[in-house]
């Protein structure tokens, strides 16, 4: 962390050469930074992303309500501090962070502390319902100009379309993890999203990244 602070970076992943760095989560920026051919992919349209994100959050509500209560303390592989309460809450916090972040701010990407009032699967699902309502209302108020607007945060300099895609695939990756954890807990995944649902989203190759 001392090296990150010295660079002026506030979060990982980061790609650094000497005293220069770029956020490691923006692959096109990494390619440009390293002098490589950029690997831009066609982003799904905002209205498609909106539908997918809502379905991701709906799935997260189903999954956490189906999670065996005695096994809520299970932790994500490689993330010993992230139990099922934190993983499921994080899925809903990601889009809320996206729509509330302001230019020039530190973009936490849903990693703010969980409120003490959100403890049980039922309370987490209720927070999810609130997040879904908030996102739908926010999206309905946007115009075509929204998606070209640039936003400069600790994560990088990208337009709103990119940030929206990032929020969608970020939440989608974690909902895949939540489903896997439910299976590991010997639970039944209700109406599991098929892998075909995730097509068009630039998800990490491995489940636990």
Contact 9, 21 (CB under 8 A): yes
Q: How far does CA 124 lie from the centroid of its chain?
A: 16
pLDDT range class, residue 34, cuts 50, 70, 90: low
pLDDT tops 60 at residue 71: yes
Q: Residue 89 in contact with residue 124, Cβ under 8 Å?
A: yes
pLDDT at 52 over 90: yes
Q: Give the pair of three-digit tokens for residue 153.
A: 């945060």
* Residue 14's pLDDT band (cuts 50, 70, 90): low
DSSP 197: G
Tell me what pLDDT residue 176 has: 98
Angle subtended by helix axes 121-140 and 84-100, to nearest 10:
20
114: its two tokens: 């969980």
1 pLDDT more than 50 = no
In whole numbers, what is the pLDDT of the chain averaged over residues? 87
Using CA atoms, how far apart are residues 54 and 122, in angstroms rounded to an integer? 18
Within 13 Å and on the Cβ side, how many CA atoms surround 116?
0
Assign domain 46-198 to a CATH class. Answer: mainly alpha
Q: Is 70 exceeded by the pLDDT of residue 98?
A: yes
Binning pLDDT at 50, 70 and 90, where does residue 55 land?
Answer: very high
Helix (H/G/I), strand (E/B), else coil: 79: strand
pLDDT at position 27: 53
Q: How far apart are CA 68 and CA 197, in angstroms?
A: 25
Each domain of the chain, given as residue ranges in start order, spans 2-34, 46-198
CA distance 163 to 27: 13
Q: 88: part of which helix (H) or strand (E)?
A: helix 84-100
């Amino acid at each position: 962390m001392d090296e990150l602070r010295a660079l002026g970076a506030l979060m990982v992943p980061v790609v650094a050469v000497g005293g220069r760095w770029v956020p490691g989560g923006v692959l096109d920026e990494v390619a440009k930074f390293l002098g490589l051919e950029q690997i831009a992919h066609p982003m799904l349209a905002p209205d498609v992303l909106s539908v997918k994100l809502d379905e991701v959050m709906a799935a997260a509500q189903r999954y956490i309500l189906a999670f065996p209560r005695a096994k809520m303390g299970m932790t994500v592989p490689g993330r010993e501090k992230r139990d099922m309460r934190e993983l499921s809450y994080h899925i809903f916090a990601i889009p809320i962070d996206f729509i509330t972040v302001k230019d020039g701010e530190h973009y936490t990407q849903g990693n703010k502390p969980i409120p003490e009032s959100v403890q049980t699967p039922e309370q987490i699902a209720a927070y999810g319902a609130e997040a879904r309502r908030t996102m739908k209302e926010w999206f309905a108020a946007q115009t075509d100009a929204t998606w070209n607007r640039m936003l400069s945060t600790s994560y990088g300099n990208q337009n709103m379309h990119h940030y929206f895609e990032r929020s969608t695939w970020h939440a989608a990756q974690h909902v895949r993890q939540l489903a896997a954890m439910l299976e590991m807990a010997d639970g039944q995944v209700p109406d599991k999203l098929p892998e075909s649902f995730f097509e068009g989203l630039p998800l990490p190759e491995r489940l636990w990244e």
